[in-house]
Chains A and B, each alone.
Chain A
Amino acid sequence: MPPVIQARDVAFCYTQRGRGLASVSLDVHRGEAVHIAGPSGSGKSTLARCLCGLIPHLYRGNLSGMVRVDDLHTSEAPLWRLVERAGLVFQNPSAQMLTVTVEQEIIFGLENLGLRPSEIEARLESALTRFNLERFRHRSPQTLSGGEQQKLALAAITAREPPVLILDEPLSMLDSTASGELVDYLGHLARQDTAVVICEHRAEYVRAIKGLRTLFLDGSAPRPSSQVSKPAGRESAVSPFHLDVSGLTVGLGGQPVLRNLSFSAESGQVLAIVGRNGVGKTTLLRALAGLQRYEGDITVDGARPDLGLVFQNPDLQLFNPTARDEVLYQLPAPDLDRYNWLMAMLGLTRYEDTPPLLLSEGEKKRLALATTLMRGPRHGVLLDEPALGQDAAHKEMLMVLARALAESGQLVILTTHDLALAGETDRLLILGENGFVADGAPRDILRSETPWAGVGLDVPAWVVRE
């Protein structure tokens, strides 16, 4: 049987951003699952767009080589015919919601197939049942959790029954349980004769699919430094302190999110907070940073803490013409030794004169971290999902930096879905609906079953082994 996807020496260079994908060849047959792996910037997302025809139809640039989906050449066939054959699920589910109800989100793609209302009805009901979304059918997709939104995005594409399903970083925003469920479903689809192509950093989850084939894309992006000296500047002079949080209660939109939460932390620690999507991890960080109204007390030795928050989305915090201006913004007498150390440490020295908007997502995330560290918050930093979309080398760099900050007496608190990353910290806290359900050494907590079962999270076996 001929492959349903045939790619020969495909390479793409974006008009504005430059290189997107180096030459790649790939055949995918029906019923086969293929994992596209590779470091940040190696072109996984670009390849996903080439395979379904969004490149060259929606993107400007130079495409060379040939891609055939079923019997259609992507550079010749109209886009609507290509996406009937190859469905693409994007990385960020909330950014791809086009309508105001779950039901309409699924109907939209079915109407575009030109199906009769009775056929649309049948496929809609089937998709809602398959993904357990019936109870949300009249809800706005924007009110669903990240995991539910990802299910909906998948339901909207699979209801169109494309013979090829392509997923771009589908696990990046999901907790361990939702990730496991999604991978199980993808394995099921492959067994049902769908060709499944998964572009994903978190290879440990994807490996669970039987018969999975892996294609590794090699990137030419510079590798971050994992050698680091002590941080230059003011952290060296931090004296030991205690962060005390007691009776912290936060409500959002009339709904309680955090209830009577209490914990304490000491300077020199790297803390990881894990929990299911929507449980209030980001809200907790916002309260610690003084950005969220709350009831209760958050103090460091009796006073308000000075903790810098690095947001999940770096675009929120970047607005200057160059990376240098960004890091030195509003600093009347910047410590240039510290600036040079930070830029070198985060692999940003070569981008000093580059506009932040032209950096890759991973580089922007590191730049946002540099801006916060350069400001020198007295007690430490709060990192909201710092590993999101980062490859293994960047995660390693992140932990080296966190460790260096902790050794200089600062407190580092991070939230993450990445249990392997959480396992490398000094202390792990599991946040559930009614507060923390576990607090202790990561190694012990990861081996214990009770707290994870209580919050509906699974710890994959490979995390414990590592």
Chain B
Amino acid sequence: MKLGTSHRPRIVTLADDSPLRRADPRTKLALSLSASLAVMLPLERLIVFMGIYAILLAWSGLLEEARMQIWRLKWVLIPLFILDWLLVGPHLAVIVTLRIILLAGAFALFVRTTTPSEFRLALEWLRVPYRYAFSVSLAFQSIGLLDDEWRTIREAQRARGAWRFEWAGWRQVVSQVRHLVVLTIPAIVLTTKRAWSLTEAAYARGFDSPHRSSYRRLKMERLDWLLLTAAAIVGILLVGLAGSFWLSSIEARLAHWR
């Protein structure tokens, strides 16, 4: 196990310099959901879409963030790519890998430019009841803290001489796995306690009040309409005008490659 190098809570920091930070959370939600739906496109159109999406990421200053997200997935992507190639063929290997990369990129775009409270407002606009929208936004902001808590638990266990998964032969596998399982108990206890503390804190500040007001209201600006119009045009082109010259040309090249 690595020694702890950081004990500061990991907070998801916002890309404050990104022009997308100023966009309405509904716009960003729509863009991210569109990108997630685009995974259903056939390979040729998926490649075109990813090119356009990369331009959007570059414009919003999040290309590096997306690259890091994809890099973190390398231990999933590489074996999956090899396995798909060997079992089915290069076409499936490429399309599955690109789909995962696209989903990772869509996640990066939303997380780095939207606060949990903006996310909650977007969900409320979608008619999600306040109590559920609030719970989802709370879970959204707790991801970094859970990671931190898990690391602290491992260190605390190490201080007790536990959390040492050492190979001691096949006969010891069951007992070693059992030790690993019991070590998850503190994680469950802490997560449950944290959830309960947050519930108490929310109710102590009137979470169940039927007379809630909203300090901040969502407002669509010109940037939002521009982004949504551009997204709609891309969608129509990719879905509706599949037979256009340039797309046919790419499809022909890929068919030749296959």
Contacts and interface: CB of A to CB of B under 8 A. Distances in A.
Interface of A: 52, 54, 57-58, 78-80, 83-84, 87-88, 90, 92, 95-101, 104, 107-117, 120-121, 140, 142-143, 156-157, 160, 252-253, 255, 282-283, 286, 289-293, 308-311, 313, 315-320, 329-330, 357, 371-372, 375
B206 A112 contact: yes
A308 B162 CA distance: 12
Nearest to A112: B206
B86 interface: no
A101 B116 CA distance: 10
B65 interface: no
B204 A111 contact: no
B200 A80 contact: no
Contacts of A112: 205-207, 209, 212
Contacts of B210: 80
Interface stretch (B42-50, B191-199, B221-229): B191-199
B200 A90 contact: yes
Given A99-B117, A115-B213, A316-B186, A80 B162 contact: no
Given A107-B215, A114-B211, A140-B11, 8 more contacts: A83-B203, A95-B194, A98-B201, A114-B212, A120-B215, A315-B186, A316-B156, A372-B160
Given A95-B201, A100-B141, A120-B215, A291 B159 contact: yes
Contact of A96 (B4, B9, B198, B212): B198
A252 B3 contact: no
B116 A286 contact: no
12 contacts: A80-B209, A80-B210, A117-B215, A121-B215, A140-B11, A143-B8, A252-B6, A286-B7, A293-B5, A310-B159, A313-B190, A319-B185
Contacts of B206: 80, 83-84, 109, 112-113, 160
Contact of A253 (B8, B194, B205, B213): B8
A121 B162 CA distance: 51
B145 A142 contact: yes
B61 to A, nearest CB: 19
B31 to A, nearest CB: 21
A77 B193 CA distance: 27
Closest 6 CB pairs of A and B: A112-B206, A114-B211, A96-B201, A316-B156, A109-B205, A95-B197
